[in-house]
Amino acid sequence: MSNRLVDATSPYLLQHAQNPVDWWEWGEDAFDEARRRGVPIFLSIGYSACHWCHVMAHESFEDETIAAQVNENFVAIKVDREERPDIDAVYMDATVAMTGHGGWPMTVFLDHDARPFFAGTYFPPAPRHQMPSFPQVLQAIIDTWTTRRTEVEESSQRIVEALSKRQWDVGDAAAPTLKHLDAAAASLLNDFDDAHGGFGGAPKFPPSMVLEFLIGYQALPGAAHGESAYRMVDRTLTAMARGGMYDQLGGGFARYSVDEQWTVPHFEKMLYDNALLLRVYLHWWRLAGSSLAERVVRETAEFLLRDLRTPEGGFASALDADSEGVEGKFYAWTPQQLVDCLGETDGVWAAGVLSVTEAGTFEHGTSTLQLLNDPDDLARWESVRERLWREREKRVHPGRDDKIVAAWNGMAIAALAEAGQLFDEPSWVEAATAAADLLIAVHLGAAGNDRLCRTSRAGKPGSNLGVLSDYAGVAEGLVVLHQVTGEAAWLDLAGTLLDVAVRRFGDAQGGFFDTADDAPALVRRPKDPADGAEPSGWLAAAHALIGYAALTGSGEHREVAERSLGILSHLSDRAPRAFGWGLAAAAALIAGPLQIAVVDAGDGEGKALVDMAWRSVLPGTVVVWGAGDDEQPLLHDRSMVDGAPAAYVCREFVCDAPVTDVTDLALAVRAEIPPAS
């Protein structure tokens, strides 16, 4: 028997369409029903790749008795947090405030005005580990609502008022200086795990935004902790790539490691993680020439194209952690399984190379695959890897959430376009272009001429408005795609999206709200500059604005970015792990950012100069190329030198004398000459 979710477009909601729970989607109809019946709202928030969301669904939402208790006493609303990050943000704040921690599935009980009065995360079907059962929680809420309704509503009002007092105001603070970035780097050093890389203890999440900052920071002249910054980058990226969190057979990263050594992951693979990490490893390769970094970039790019690309040309949101109802079953191996696949000799050898033990490093005697050291025989390793991957392909694959999220596709566009340029892989650039075409065709204009919808599926736009991170993420992708392809239309579209972001999301005090001024009202309008699993919309907007301003010379856009980054001037040294993307943007401002214009006759003769320009390690560098009479501002009135292609290195459109020699350009942009192939 299906419920109301059978008509949903979200794969996560569709996973619950056959539950005996009488689910509603978020909307006024659900709240009207609760008022009519005089019952509270039970709000459950999760996402399709969430392991514990599946567990609670199987244990409680598929249970007829528990479902009957829910249906009789509540109006139950199910929300996909990836479709509605605004709802998720509001009630996550409440959950953390009430319990001291958050996570998914998120379990929140609301009054008729959507105000929360009780919150938690996962609850088991029976009491265990000092946790009450979900039926016990339901009964306690029923009793409280029935006997102390006035107290409940007064409490919920106090909670909303307390959360609304949290302010993120920029004030008169200026953008961070190098001294601020030095302080942030010093703070990160204090929290760095020298033994295993990363920051803090278990569980460990990939610190993508922080690593992006450190890569840019160490390249800044005068950086006080440049060597230490590079050490943190090198240690962390090496450990993540060699551990079990990285898929040694198929490429791509799992969501996080449950241990401090990056051995056992939480196995879901998210698009945003892999797009961000692809770009971080690319920048590490550009900086250090690491063969490990190159391998990760190539394998992760191919993972995106092979496993996440949709028939419409976009990139799916995630792969599940589970297959056949078992977490990690698709990815884990026993020594005997290796022997069965490879034969005795290669199987034993592979077990040693991949740290597959009889006791197991994961569960039930299975092991995650690690590549702690490069094998002595690389040809043998490639053969083994190929055979294991083909054998694994025969297994039941994890489910795929195939909805397209605008922000995350923007990240993928930026990563693939830049990687395609640096590695001379046209197919990656073509994939980035196809994803951008999809966003423009399906997401742009679905909610108004210059407005984005957040999600689509199978080429059809969803009903939810884009949030700030969608505008910023897509604009960032288009800014990079413009530089790689030379197509001016991408830059124009990026400007359109950024103008909407400033006009509709700006708070008139230098910061940004997460939702537009015409978005459906919630109990409060979410606003948070801190990064989470992905860059915050606030900091992502600053990042994209800086790149756009550097390409166009728009002082207005640069000023908006500078003012928005003022929030970091009194926060970056206290909580740098929460503001990595903003610190990376600040490093770009301090670097200029560098602007490189390569002028040729339109015949490709300037390619060597363009390739070298892209090897600049200075953060925020932008690159344009084309004929001197091109419409692009950085190319205006620039010309070749004595009939030869020329590169102009500029800051704020003030340029050094043009150079025609690749070696001279390398010196100007502090890049290494790549070895001859």
Q: Distance between CA 27 and CA 244 in Å, rounded?
A: 41
CB 539 within 8 A of CB 529: yes
C-alpha to C-alpha distance for 254 and 262, rounded to whole angstroms: 10
- Residue 310's identity, in one-letter code, is T
- What number of CA atoms fall less than 13 Å from residue 441's CA on the CB side? 14
Tokens (6 digits) for 526: 């979410």
The dihedrals phi and psi of 657, each to the nearest 5 degrees, come to -60, 140
Please, where are the H alpha helices in 120-169? 134-147, 149-164
- List CB contacts of 356: < 8 A, sequence separation 6 or more: 333, 334, 335, 338, 350, 367, 369
Question: Under 8 Å CB-to-CB from 578, ≥6 apart: which residues?
Answer: 530, 531, 571
Please give the DSSP secondary-structure letter assigned to residue 672: P
Which of 402, 412, 505, 531 lies closest to 89 in space, CA to CA? Answer: 531
* Among 214, 258, 73, residue whose Cα is nearest residue 579: 214
pLDDT for position 170 = 81
Per-residue pLDDT at 163: 84
Q: End-to-end alpha-carbon separation of the chain, Å?
A: 62
> What tokens were used for 244?
């079990």
* Rg over CA atoms, the chain: 26
Closest C-alpha among 114, 115, 118, 120 to residue 161? 115
In the chain, the largest separation of any two C-alpha atoms, in whole Å, equals 88
pLDDT digits (tens, 9 = 90+) for 80-102: 999 999 999 999 999 999 999 89
> Tokens 């990050």 belong to which residue?
85
Q: Across 181-248, where does the E strand assignment appear?
A: none
What pLDDT, on the 0 to 100 scale, is given for residue 677?
40
The low-confidence residues of the chain, meaning pLDDT below 70, are 1, 447-448, 629-630, 671-677
What pLDDT is stored for residue 601 in this prediction?
A: 77
pLDDT at 676: 47
Q: How far apart are CA 279 and CA 476, in angstroms?
A: 13
Predicted model pTM = 0.95
Of 644, 615, 674, 659, nearest in space to 219 by CA: 615
- Contact partners, residue 298, CB within 8 Å, separation at least 6: 251, 423
Cα separation values, 135 from 23, 66, 67, 145, Å: 17, 7, 10, 15
3-state secondary structure 118-139: EEECCCCCCCECCECCHHHHHH
